[in-house]
Amino acid sequence: MARNSSRRTELADAAITVLAAEGARGLTHRAVDRQAGVPAGTTSNYFRSRAALLEGLVGRIGERLAPEPEVLASLAADPPDRASYLRHLRDIARRLLRDRDVTLAWFELRLEAARRPEVGALMERVLVAGFAGDVAYNEAAGLPGGAREIALFHYAMDGLVLDRLTVSIDPATDVDDVVATLVDRLLP
Amino acid sequence: MARNSSRRTELADAAITVLAAEGARGLTHRAVDRQAGVPAGTTSNYFRSRAALLEGLVGRIGERLAPEPEVLASLAADPPDRASYLRHLRDIARRLLRDRDVTLAWFELRLEAARRPEVGALMERVLVAGFAGDVAYNEAAGLPGGAREIALFHYAMDGLVLDRLTVSIDPATDVDDVVATLVDRLLP
């Protein structure tokens, strides 16, 4: 069972690499087999359909982007003020930028969501739950910023990360400085 | 000559449709021929290489996203205050959202820029020139917002448009209202 689960993870990681490198059209079970260096048919055994493969891949992206428990504990120990919110957002930017493939694969899935209704339904579940979770987190922690601000931060952070992972209009400005300006100005 | 130019435009439009529907990997000269309903080989006659096709496509995206002259004249007639800047940004959002294919193709190219250095070089020229143009426009018009704010607006508007064209975390909030909040808060 543990073995199965580590093989699933390995295949989902290979799928992330394929998606980032080749786009959604390049993501096939066979391409994942090749990327993972496993016998043809292995990915199909673990993920029976394209929908299952995408769902496994989305779950794995979530794991790879998740905050480390010790970072989360350290953030939770701060008083819930604007400075703490800034530290939260800088940590989000750090996680989104540290591994290009994961975040580029995520953007690929967002575009694929516009093309394929079944991907749209999967991404809607994940994005809407994530947004609701962010709003609930801020409220429970007493952090500044409600649903309105959190939506604005999502937009600005997505655009910033897309800029920094692809072609930047302003590469000289440090990401931490951009995030500080956003917190300064977008929080009421 | 006029005929050639209209055929080029028609093929570039077909390339936009293919790119939005199939992603960068699906964009081939033959796929553009099929999409445009022209004999095989036609796109290759007009755009000799993939680089030429991408350059034609990027130029055509620029034309299709450009403001209408009468809108631009009307905006330029306003006093250059925060309200005018809001009208400018709402017009940008309107243009980016009115034709899904054009803007989705643009996002595809941004991701492709992260994968292929030659696409990266093309997109860098266009994005950096566009950003410099925006900063110069604001300065010449006396509009509020310098390079720092314009970069922030680029990030936030890109994220907002990506959200609205794919899967939205907050579909109930009107885009014009989001843009108004951004202008309220991001301008110093």
Q: Phi and psi dihedrals of B119, rounded to 5?
A: -70, -35
Comparing alpha-carbon positions, the chain A residue that sits nearest to B22 is: A25
pLDDT at B32 over 60: yes
Helices assigned H by DSSP within chain A: 2-22, 29-36, 42-46, 50-65, 69-77, 82-98, 100-115, 117-141, 147-165, 175-186
| Shortest alpha-carbon distance between residue A7 and chain B (Å) | 27
CB within 8 Å of chain A, chain B residues 17-56 = 20-26
- Cα–Cα distances in angstroms (integers) from residue A30 to residues A41, A44, A53, A65, B186, in the given order: 7, 8, 12, 26, 47
pLDDT of residue A4: 81
Contact at CB, B166 and A131, closer than 8 angstroms: no
pLDDT of residue A176: 98
| Shortest alpha-carbon distance between residue A75 and chain B (Å) | 25
Q: Which residues of chain A have pLDDT under 50?
A: 1
- Cα–Cα distances in angstroms (integers) from residue B184 to residues A86, B47, B91, in the given order: 20, 45, 16
Spatial CB neighbours of B84, under 8 Å, sequence gap ≥ 6: B75, B78, B143
pLDDT in tens, B47-80: 999 999 999 999 999 999 999 999 999 999 999 9
pLDDT of residue A1: 47
Q: What is the ipTM of this complex?
A: 0.96
- Asked if B183 contacts B86 with a C-beta cutoff of 8 angstroms, the reply is yes
Spatial CB neighbours of B3, under 8 Å, sequence gap ≥ 6: none
B177 close to A (CB below 8 A)? no
pLDDT at B20 over 70: yes
pLDDT in tens, A61-116: 999 999 999 999 999 999 999 999 999 999 999 999 999 999 999 999 999 999 99
Contact at CB, B128 and A155, closer than 8 angstroms: no
- Structural domains in chain A, sorted by start: 1-60 (1.10.10.60), 67-188 (1.10.357.10)
- In DSSP notation, A14-54 reads HHHHHHHHH-GGG--HHHHHHHHT--TTHHHHHS-SHHHHH
CB within 8 Å of chain A, chain B residues 96-135 = 100, 104, 107-108, 110-115, 120, 123-124, 127-128, 130-131
Considering the entire predicted model, what is its pTM?
A: 0.97
- CA dihedral (B182, A90, A120, B61) positive or negative: positive
Comparing alpha-carbon positions, the chain A residue that sits nearest to B18 is: A115
Instruction: Please report where in the chains the tokens 């428990």 appear, as a residue.
Output: A69
- Asked if B186 contacts A134 with a C-beta cutoff of 8 angstroms, the reply is no
